[in-house]
Chains A and B, each alone.
Chain A
Amino acid sequence: MVKTSFCAMLNLSAKAMIKVENISKTFGDFHALKNVSLEVLTGEKVVVCGPSGSGKSTLIRCINGLERHDEGLIEVADNRLTHTSSSLRAVRSSVGMVFQQFNLFPHLTVKQNLTLGPVRTRKLSQPDADKLAMAYLERVRIPEQADKFPRQLSGGQQQRVAIARSLCMEPQIMLFDEPTSALDPEMINEVLDVMSELAGSGMTMICVTHEMGFAKRVADTMVFMDHGEIVEKAPPEQFFSNPGTERCRDFLSKILAH
């Protein structure tokens, strides 16, 4: 926190936090990503949208090494991603990820879900990790659920626990892969609120989402993907009012219609 505001003062914030250069990814003979490049600055919020199968998930999964890119270069917080275990650990320790299906650990309580990473990876003592976990549970507004098991919570609460679990690793970057797509409509806003608040705190974020209201409020940059390519990249005002390509216009008219 102190560091980011300090950087902002010195006007160093225009430094790239994530650099993706010409990466490609194939599954068999299917090209999921074709020569994709993307730069995300410190504190920047990028919202990625696009039709199903366009490679959105594949792109952000490449960024924290869950998928292995075939070609190109990825640099995260000055660490080159090379798929050696030390490089993976360096990259993942600065990147948090939130999944569509929450992926909480069902055999652990909410608090244990949150403290596992800090204790095992960051070598915090259990009491310190507990304190940290409670602080982040407050932040996602469910401290009272600390001792419950994931399946006792609603979907919206589970996703907020998943966000808190990532935040407990104190990452510099948060990746979200359709965090509200598996939720009942009435729970979507409680998750988006937490994400908006996080955005306000200066976190660098890449969000794959089709929640365009959220995107308009939070995004610094909109990215539209189709067929494994970034087709359009623009600030939201321009993106929504005057999309540069036919494909993007089509997509937006479909998604904003309902």
Chain B
Amino acid sequence: MTFCRLAGLCCLTLLLTGCSGNWGWYVVDPTVPAGWNNLKFLLSGLYYTLLLSFTAIVISIVIGLAVALPALSANRALRRFNRVYVELVRAVPILVLILWVYYGLPQMTGLSITVFWAGVIALALSDSAFEAEIFRAGIQSIDKGQYEAAHSISLSYTDMMMYVILPQAVRRILPALGNQLVYMLKMSSLVSVIGMQELTRKANELVVVEYRPLEIYTVLVLEYLVLILIVSAGVRWLERKLQSDQRG
């Protein structure tokens, strides 16, 4: 369904280009060797876009959860820590954070850092504040009776969270987590500014060589579009699967 629409969109774009003389699709024409090589070059950025986004989302979920749990504590200092973290991290623009982690952090710590890990750290940190808010809302939406039942069979705090509360909370927040993943895929393009060889960087490099920004960036847009449609479909599939789990 989505793919039919997508194919339609591509055809429409190509049709429009036929009408104006300004387009030069030869740069990415898979039927000629040079175009095919260019296309392969553009697509080769996919590896790092995916690796970067998925590594960052996993880390940001872990940090997010670790920051969300104190928010639910009876201890005021712990709740305060959560608020301060969320407010601070949320206030820093991602691009600024990327630059700061890549250029600033090595100076501060004396450790050198690769472009990849600078990107992962910046993306994960910046996203973790949002993950923390999502987890907090999800966990808070679970009925008090579930905690009491878990206590009554004397589960430890860790077991209660692992086997009772989080599985239910995650089912509820899955759509929101999916949104964050999509957001992460898009934000990973910003890591191109420090030289990460992902989709956007590849496109920029090709544009410099070929002077065909219109066609190359159109391909770039389509790359992100397809990627994100596939990821969204995956998230929806997971959602349906987990839901049917509960109803059998």
- A residues apposed to B, CB below 8 Å: 64-66, 88-89, 92-93, 95-97, 99, 101, 103-107, 109, 116-117, 120-121, 148-149, 151-152, 162, 165-166, 168-169
Contact = CB atoms under 8 A, between A and B. Distances in A.
A120 B248 CA distance: 24
Interface residues of B, number: 21
A162 B149 CA distance: 9
Given A106-B168, A120-B156, A149 B248 contact: yes
A149 B246 contact: yes
Contacts of A162: 149
A64 B246 CA distance: 30
Given A89-B154, A121-B159, A169-B154, A107 B149 contact: no
Contact of B245 (A105, A107, A120): A107
13 contacts: A88-B151, A89-B154, A92-B152, A97-B152, A101-B145, A103-B146, A106-B246, A107-B245, A116-B153, A116-B164, A120-B159, A120-B163, A121-B156
A99 B168 CA distance: 20
A166 B153 contact: yes
B121 to A, nearest CB: 34
B209 to A, nearest CB: 53
B171 interface: yes
A105 B146 contact: yes
Given A117-B154, A165-B153, A103 B145 contact: yes
Interface in B140-158: 143, 145-146, 148-149, 151-156
A117 B152 CA distance: 9
Given A66-B148, A121-B154, A107 B171 contact: yes
Interface in B199-248: 245-248
B246 to A, nearest CB: 6
Contacts of B106: none
Contacts of A92: 151-154
B155 A107 contact: no
B167 interface: yes
A151 B247 CA distance: 7
Contacts of A66: 148, 151-152
Nearest to A168: B153
B220 to A, nearest CB: 41
B168 A148 contact: no
Contacts of B155: 116-117, 120-121
Given A66-B148, A105-B168, 6 more contacts: A106-B168, A117-B153, A120-B159, A121-B154, A152-B248, A165-B149
Contacts of A88: 151, 154
Interface string B161-174: 00110011001000
